[in-house]
Structure 1
């Protein structure tokens, strides 16, 4: 029977395959040398999933890599079925001499990540409909409350979530980016940002969130699944 997994359960179940748990999804990047090779990877992934593909698998096909995403679309979460599908896809990819292992140590700029836009608001319920309409977004599966995130229904754009403010702020940006990265890549990403002129504003909620800023104070958060409830 399909069961929802916690972040730790999901990460432990697929980490050795090269897949990573990011914001309620399992993701893997497969480096390829051509679009033809990328489409073969995609076809093998779909075949490995069988009838479950339409409900669990998303694929981003590019000439140099294929990004595979698994999640139960009905539940908006990672399940035991997704873990099984990850194993099946990895095996299918390995059959043609490719791998779901990240290759960031061999020159690739990064493996997988998820980008979100965070908007600070005094009245989230009042502004959320505007952002839903102007982006053409929709409610996430099972999350249609006034403070729940908004997502791109075709899966192209970053999710938008809203952070409650208690008082208006005039000297701090009220829209920032959250970059969710694999838990074992976070420190490297932060070090690169600091070396590029950034500042670490807070690590109080690490390893869930590190708050960084550029030289002018514009903020971004590097996040992982670790340190979060569930």
Structure 2
């Protein structure tokens, strides 16, 4: 029988720390402690070779339930729509105008952090309403 595996979600990006700190605010995640022997992540970063400084950053669920998010610098910019995206559950159990109001309120909060609103997708016969957005580097996600 196959066991359940832990996993992390990895983002390719230009500025790992900026994107990680955005997602910390979105999800209530935190930056993990720096590696042993370093008082801060800045100290750890300065100890790396110049080409590796700022190349990666991570954030974690403080409760230990959600997956670790890892952000790695890549040389190329985002060119096409994500094949995988996160759905951030902010209106679970809500329907109609209550759901839209919850989506809009969270969308407004995230826009203040640098997110971009893409489109409100209104409920139809198969799906509840959701709000499509982009993070600070253009990665798509939905408020659901």
TM-score bracket, normalised by the shorter chain, equals 0.3 to 0.5
Identify the structure with the greater helix proportion. 1
Question: Could you say which structure has the larger radius of gyration?
Answer: 1
Compute the TM-score of the two structures, normalised by the length of structure 2: 0.40
Compute the TM-score of the two structures, normalised by the length of structure 1: 0.26
Name the structure, 1 or 2, with higher relative contact order (CA <8 Å, separation 6+): 2
